[in-house]
Amino acid sequence: CHLSPALHRLPGAHACPFAVSTVTCPDHGFLCPGSPGRLVEGMERYELDALPWQGPRLGLEELQKPELGCWARVQSICVSLLKVPLMFGFLYLFVCSLDVLSSAFQLAGGKVAGDIFKDNAILSNPVAGLVVGILVTVLVQSSSTSTSIIVSMVSSGLLEVRSAIPIIMGSNIGTSVTNTIVALMQAGDRSEFKRAFAGATVHDCFNWLSVLVLLPLEVVSGYLHRVTRLVVATFNIRSGKDAPDLLKIITEPFTKLIIQLDKSVITGIATGDESLRNRSLIRVWCDPAGSGMESIHNITRQKCEHLFTDTPLPDLAVGLVLLAGSLVVLCTCLILLVKLLNSLLKGQVAKAIQKVINTDLPHPFSWLTGYFAMVVGAGMTFVVQSSSVFTSAITPLIGLGVISIERAYPLTLGSNIGTTTTAILAALASPGDKLASSFQIALCHFFFNISGILLWYPLPFTRLPIRMAKALGERTAKYRWFAVLYLIVCFLLLPSLIFGISMAGWRVLVGVGAPFLGLLFFVGLVNALQARSPGRLPKWLQTWDFLPAWMHSLQPLDNLITRAALCCTDRCRSPEGWDEREGAARDKARLGLDNPALSYPEEMSGAAVRVGSPRLTPHGATRL
């Protein structure tokens, strides 16, 4: 661009001119941002481009450190050795808090989930069944619990296999909410938050895309139902027992001291046992294991030993108490884990870990690297018997840049396969006469994930979930409140809206859904053409500027949220009244510009004065 740049180049970012002009640039054919609004928008986009996806260049700070003495080196080694058991301790508490969080959600909404499953008229509608699977899994915070309930209903004859398939698909979507919540804990650093949120939402994007393709295919052709019925008929399946839950062996001694639940109450309500409706989910009597036993109706039992054994509080109150406590412990452990990992993963250690995790297999087997990662993800999930625990554990590592998004994607897909073993093992424990149906619905869960992998992984251009997750990560790095909005819309508002429309009949659903999907496809196509070949579009469609700002940008909503947030503090005034010199110094330190004598807000304000515009708000004023 022949115009003088208004911003010095940021480290690691591509060159892009920001100048004060409304003349078309001969280099790229577009208008250079000449108004203050365009300057601010350009600066924000420029900052986001400078946030790396690969993580920081680890080890640079060690080169700048002075040589340590002998005693200081011994102290450093001792501190590092102490950090390792401390890290495993926080990881143990983190996993335990996830278990307690699941129990809290079951106490707060478990009976509601059972009532939802009980209504067979609703579950016969495929779209309603999908939404029920999402909402119930979000309520109980465990796809293992929801799929086990579905298997129990099929084995008891209350639910047909064909009707249960959409619910299984919905449970796959609902289970990804946990690691998305975990990603919120890294919102303090934009670069880490960008990577962590993208790594968490790649699971959501894969599940939603798979459902958009496979649910209509299943409704029309019965693909999953036919394939799984053929597999069950081919093999002679015999009833067995559940395999041991290896993670529970480690965590249960601690979590059992906090709360113990009788999950058969939820399953009983779902299967129509009205005698369990007024029964508490909190377990009071356990199997006999020594002294302290009482005899009730000629049955010897031992009173359970946990914090809420004799509580007078209702299930909802206990659930809310546990929810608050487990969230506090989860957030604290995650923050401390991230800090410990930051301090441990430095220098050559970090380089070695990154190289091992993100490096492909040697040629000519490099194309097998992703599939090997899937096997690792499936194996780890089988060991811990929870995809939520595995994906939540790798989310902080993605945020730190230790695991790349491209490597996290196959690990997540493998975790999706590993979690299907829970339903398969639950089916193997079914009665002999219902074993075939139970095993068939468990296999539907498995083949749904396999089909999704065949759709969205083998060829590089089909890996849309990675590109979608990166777009969400960039949007969240710019507007951090967007992450909370995403959670509310994708896991509560949108499923509830679809559920309500589907209950009005399939004609209403098609009448509302078809135009919406058509509009969504059109917007996606235009966005792709605008980014890659704008010359193919009419001039008025090469940008969305012909629309009102609130229809194509989150900036108006961001301004509203910023003002609301400021009014909750002692600086309740318009961002335009902030001291620009203070904002410039803060942004200068945050961005780390190549030329510290010149920062973008200073240049931008000068440029605004030259064109006769009012002085502009520094970008830092819009940060939440």
**Helix/strand/coil for 574:** coil
Model confidence band, residue 62 (pLDDT cutoffs 50, 70, 90): very low
Q: How confident is the model at residue 568 (pLDDT cuts 50, 70, 90)?
A: low
For the cut 60, the answer to whether the pLDDT of residue 578 exceeds it is no
- Report the distance separating Cα 213 and Cα 198, nearest Å: 22
State the burial class of residue 366 (Cβ atoms within 10 Å of its Cβ: 0-12, 13-18, 19+).
exposed
CB 438 within 8 A of CB 393: no
Distance of CA 160 to the CA centre of its chain: 31
Amino acid at 279: R
Assess contact for 108 and 324: CB atoms under 8 A.
no
More confident of the two residues 6 and 431: 431
Which pLDDT tens digit goes with each residue over 107-117?
776 666 666 66
- Which pLDDT does position 414 carry in this prediction? 92
Sign of CA dihedral 511, 514, 515, 520: positive
Local structure of residue 433 (DSSP, 8 states): G
Instruction: Please report the pLDDT score of residue 610 as a whole number.
Output: 43
pLDDT tens digits, one per residue of 495-525? 888 888 888 878 888 888 889 889 988 998 8
Average pLDDT, the chain: 74
In whole angstroms, give the CA distance from residue 284 to residue 262. 9
At residue 185 the predicted structure's pLDDT band, cuts being 50, 70 and 90, is: confident
Range with the poorest average pLDDT among 118-127, 233-242, 278-287, 361-370: 233-242
| pLDDT in the model for residue 464 | 92
User: 195-204, 234-243, 291-300, 533-542: which range is least confident on average?
Assistant: 291-300
Q: Can you spell out the DSSP letters for 375-396? A: HHHHHHHHHHT-HHHHHHHHHH
DSSP conformation letters of 218-260: HHHH-HHHHHHHHHHHHS------PPP-HHHHHHHHHHTTT--
Show the DSSP H helices in 430-579 as ranges.
435-456, 464-478, 482-488, 494-503, 506-532, 549-552, 555-567
pLDDT band at 51 (very low <50, low <70, confident <90, very high): low
**What value does the mean pLDDT take over residues 296-314?**
73
**Is the pTM higher than 0.85?**
no
251 versus 344: which is more confidently predicted? Answer: 251
**Least confident range of 197-206, 387-396, 468-477:** 387-396
251-282 in b/e form (b: 16+ CB < 10 A) is beeebbebbbbbbebbbbbbbebeebeeebbb
Query: Is the pLDDT confidence value at 182 over 50?
Result: yes
Rounded CA separation 496/431 (Å): 35
pLDDT at 105: 73
Give the pLDDT confidence score for residue 572 in this predicted structure. 52
Which of 404, 543, 399 shows the shortest CA–CA distance to 476?
399
* Encoded tokens for 36: 């203050």
Tokens of 583: 């904002």
| 457 pLDDT tier (thresholds 50, 70, 90) | very high
Q: Is the pLDDT of residue 300 over 70?
A: no
Reduced 3-state DSSP string for 543-563: CCCCCCHHHHCCHHHHHHHHH
Domain parsing of the chain, residue ranges: 80-356+373-503, 506-546
Q: How confident is the model at residue 430 (pLDDT cuts 50, 70, 90)?
A: low
pLDDT in the model for residue 254: 86
> What pairing do the DSSP bridges indicate for beta strands 285-286 and 293-296?
unpaired
Measure Cα distances from 608 to 26, 150, 195, 335, 602 in Å: 23, 63, 34, 41, 10
Q: What's the pLDDT score for residue 23? A: 45
What is the pLDDT at residue 280? 79
- Residue 402, pLDDT score: 84
pLDDT in tens, 78-97: 877 888 888 888 888 877 88
What's the pLDDT at 413?
94
